[in-house]
């Protein structure tokens, strides 16, 4: 019974476009009514009809410690009495910056913003200002937020809704955005050669998470790094999803590759609207007020957002075993899913790294956008609904990674695997 969600969705659509404030939430590609959430605790979401779900979205990543994690809740409550914003600097912001620098060795300086989108668009402007060049190379199916330059062949909702070109983005902006296939180093090298001396930045999700979870193949990141060094291109790693999730130092640490600039979001805010971009001192010094690349925000470094993010990151830094626990949980899930999928007998692929995982109903390896798109995504949509009916809340699109949170118990994982076994019997 989801009567209350149905009613809320009808009401929402009268005042909010599509009834949602971010497109993928609308369940448009999987069909049906999005669940309206009343509250969450640990690994569980509760909808407006008081149904309980095991959550594999974790607010699309931020809730790595589980929902309503007590130290975070307490910190927000205590700080709120001091006021929720000043528009003037606070010591909290220094503590946050110092903490991030201590977790990510090659970040010399960091600037806080309020979303991953802002972080990526600011990093790109900075790379352009630093190099004096205009073009950017991005990868098909990668998502860097909704800034104009990044909505060319983007992942996440753009891929989910199969939007080919986004109206409102000028031809000039599109012309400056060059697109390569993920894991295709040759194509990147060719684009750089064809646009010699014009490419300001190469931006990528080091582990792609907005077309399902897709891992970099051996040598790919190293090759891009070497190319950037040779051509004076700023290598931007978009760690909005992977930052503080795959390791304390994110994908950079997990995969042993260093970017020039890194962008953060999601986990960094512990569930509050936070993003950040940082990296090499000589580049970061070009940002205003030190330099003339302008970037600003009325609510940037907001104290409530900082305290939530700081408490989350500090917990992760002080308890690195959390990463091993998450790895173990995700691995357990993968083994369990693998068993029931194999018994089911139809083709499938499971991609996983750390606490990110995705299932593709595909008979070929999923290594880039083309192979992710050619999976049987209608089958995924059926699987999604069969799982939801059994109280398992997966991302409502085959083009999204699932995120584990550390409040998940073995019992939850067993329940998920059991639900998957039953769900597979229902799909054709
Ligand atoms: C979510 C995401 C963004 C955008 O972040 P928002 O906070 O939604 O603006 C950018 N890059 C990646 C890799 C993301 O996953």
Beta-carbon contacts of 73 under 8 Å, excluding residues fewer than 6 positions away, are: none
CB 265 within 8 A of CB 240: yes
CB 255 within 8 A of CB 279: no
- From the candidates 176, 238, 368, 412, give the one annotated as an active-site residue: 238
What are the start and end residues of each CATH 3.40.640.10 domain in the chain? 70-318
Output the pLDDT for position 321: 97
Output the pLDDT for position 239: 98
Output the pLDDT for position 143: 96
Cα–Cα distance list, 149 to 124, 169, 192, 308 (Å)? 9, 8, 17, 30
266 is catalytic: yes
List strand residue ranges (DSSP E) for 146-188, in order: 177-180
Output the pLDDT for position 158: 83
In the block, tokens 């995504």 appear at 377
Reading the block at residue 99, the tokens are: 């903490």
User: Using alpha carbons only, how large is the chain's radius of gyration in Å?
Assistant: 21
Angle at 140 between CA 195 and CA 55, to 5 degrees: 150
Residue 285 alpha carbon to ligand 1 centre in Å:
24
Q: Residue 181 and residue 47: Cα distance in Å, rounded? A: 39
Output the pLDDT for position 351: 98
If one counts every other C-beta atom within 10 angstroms of the C-beta of residue 50, the result is: 10
Output the pLDDT for position 157: 81
Output the pLDDT for position 163: 80
Beta bridge partners of 410: none
Reading the block at residue 185, the tokens are: 């180093």
CATH of 3-68+320-427, one of 3.20.20.70, 3.90.1150.10, 3.30.470.20, 3.30.70.270: 3.90.1150.10
Cα 106 to the chain's mean position, in Å?
Answer: 21
Output the pLDDT for position 407: 98
Q: Residue 338 and residue 389: Cα distance in Å, rounded? A: 21
Reading the block at residue 383, the tokens are: 């699987």
In the block, tokens 């200002």 appear at 129
Output the pLDDT for position 301: 98
Q: Residue 141 and residue 398: Cα distance in Å, rounded? A: 12
Beta-carbon contacts of 225 under 8 Å, excluding residues fewer than 6 positions away, are: 235, 257, 258
What are the start and end residues of each CATH 3.90.1150.10 domain in the chain? 3-68+320-427
Backbone angles phi, psi at 350, to 5 degrees: -115, 125
Which residue out of 205, 210, 276 has the highest number of ligand 1 atoms within 8 Å of its CB and is therefore the one to mutate?
210
In the block, tokens 């897709």 appear at 214
Q: Residue 180 and residue 132: Cα distance in Å, rounded? A: 22
For ligand 1, atom 11, the nearest C-alpha belongs to 144
Output the pLDDT for position 258: 98
- Regions of the chain short of the pLDDT cut 70: none
Residue 403 alpha carbon to ligand 1 centre in Å:
14
Q: What is the topology classification, in CATH, of domain 70-318?
A: 3.40.640
Pocket of ligand 1 (CB under 6 A): 115-117, 120, 143-145, 205, 209-210, 238, 240-241, 265, 275
Which residue out of 113, 246, 265, 403 has the highest number of ligand 1 atoms within 8 Å of its CB and is therefore the one to mutate?
265
């Amino acid at each position: 019974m989801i009567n209350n969600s149905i009613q809320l969705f009808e009401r929402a659509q009268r005042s909010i476009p599509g009834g949602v404030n971010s497109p993928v939430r609308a369940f448009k590609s999987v069909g049906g009514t999005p669940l309206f959430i009343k509250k969450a605790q640990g690994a569980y979401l509760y909808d407006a009809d008081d149904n309980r779900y095991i959550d594999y979205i974790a607010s699309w990543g931020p809730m790595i410690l589980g929902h309503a994690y007590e130290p975070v809740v307490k910190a927000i409550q205590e700080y709120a009495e001091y006021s929720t914003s000043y528009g003037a600097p606070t010591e909290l912001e220094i503590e946050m910056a110092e903490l991030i620098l201590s977790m990510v060795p090659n970040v010399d300086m960091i600037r806080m913003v309020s979303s991953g989108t802002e972080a990526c668009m600011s990093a790109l402007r900075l790379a352009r200002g630093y190099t004096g060049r205009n073009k950017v190379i991005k990868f098909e199916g990668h998502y860097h937020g909704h800034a104009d330059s990044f909505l060319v062949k983007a992942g996440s909702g753009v891929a989910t809704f199969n939007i080919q070109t986004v109206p409102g983005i000028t031809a000039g902006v599109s012309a400056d955005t060059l697109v390569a296939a993920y894991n295709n180093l040759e194509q990147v090298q060719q684009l750089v050669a064809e646009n010699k001396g014009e490419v300001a930045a190469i931006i990528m999700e080091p582990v792609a998470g907005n077309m399902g979870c897709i891992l970099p193949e051996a040598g790919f990141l190293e090759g891009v790094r070497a190319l950037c060094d040779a051509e004076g291109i700023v290598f931007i790693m978009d760690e909005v999803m992977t930052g503080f999730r795959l390791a304390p130092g994110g994908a950079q640490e997990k995969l042993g590759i260093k970017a020039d600039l890194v962008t953060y979001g999601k986990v960094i805010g512990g569930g509050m609207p936070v993003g950040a971009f940082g990296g090499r001192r000589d580049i970061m010094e070009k940002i205003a007020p030190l330099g003339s690349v302008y970037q600003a925000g009325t609510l940037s470094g907001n104290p409530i957002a900082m305290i939530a993010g700081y408490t989350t990151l500090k917990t992760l830094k002080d308890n690195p075993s959390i990463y091993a626990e998450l790895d173990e949980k995700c691995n357990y899930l993968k083994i369990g899913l693998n068993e029931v999928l194999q018994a089911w007998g139809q083709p499938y692929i499971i991609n996983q790294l750390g606490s990110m995982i995705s299932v593709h109903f595909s008979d070929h390896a999923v290594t880039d956008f083309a192979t992710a798109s050619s999976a049987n995504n209608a089958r995924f949509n059926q699987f999604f609904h069969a799982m939801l009916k059994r109280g398992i809340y997966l991302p409502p699109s085959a083009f999204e990674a699932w995120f584990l949170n550390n409040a998940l118990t073995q019992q939850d994982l067993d329940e998920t695997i059991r639900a998957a076994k039953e769900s597979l019997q229902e799909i054709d």
